[in-house]
Amino acid sequence: MTVMDLVRKGQWPAARQALQNLAARVPGSTNYKALLAYARAREAQQANRPDEAILELQRALQLDPNLSLAKTALAELQRAKK
């Protein structure tokens, strides 16, 4: 199973672990780091920690401003907070 399969299936702890491993192997990859922040955000969201999730999504978008998964999730969380 690929990292993106884990992300698509919402298997956040496994996705986070796989992305941590990839980010460690390819330290210059902002893509892996952005996806790792996204996975951490979804874990935080699942644990009912929306403020932490928002911070992680903002971090993901700082690393990769085009990460549509993070853009969508951030917009959803911000709407839910209002």
Distances (CA, A) of 69 to 23, 25, 53, 66: 18, 23, 13, 9
62: domain CATH number is: 1.25.40.10
Q: pLDDT by residue (tens digit) across 16-73?
A: 999 999 999 998 999 999 999 999 999 999 999 999 999 999 999 999 999 999 999 9
Q: How far apart, in whole angstroms, are the C-alpha atoms of residue 41 and residue 51?
A: 9
The pLDDT assigned to 24 comes to: 92
Q: pLDDT by residue (tens digit) across 71-81?
A: 999 999 999 87
Cα of 80 vs its chain's centroid, Å: 18
The pLDDT assigned to 16 comes to: 92
Single pTM value for the model: 0.92
> DSSP character for 40?
H
Q: How many structural domains are present in the chain? A: 1
Contact 14, 3 (CB under 8 A): no
Q: Which domain holds residue 11?
A: 3-81
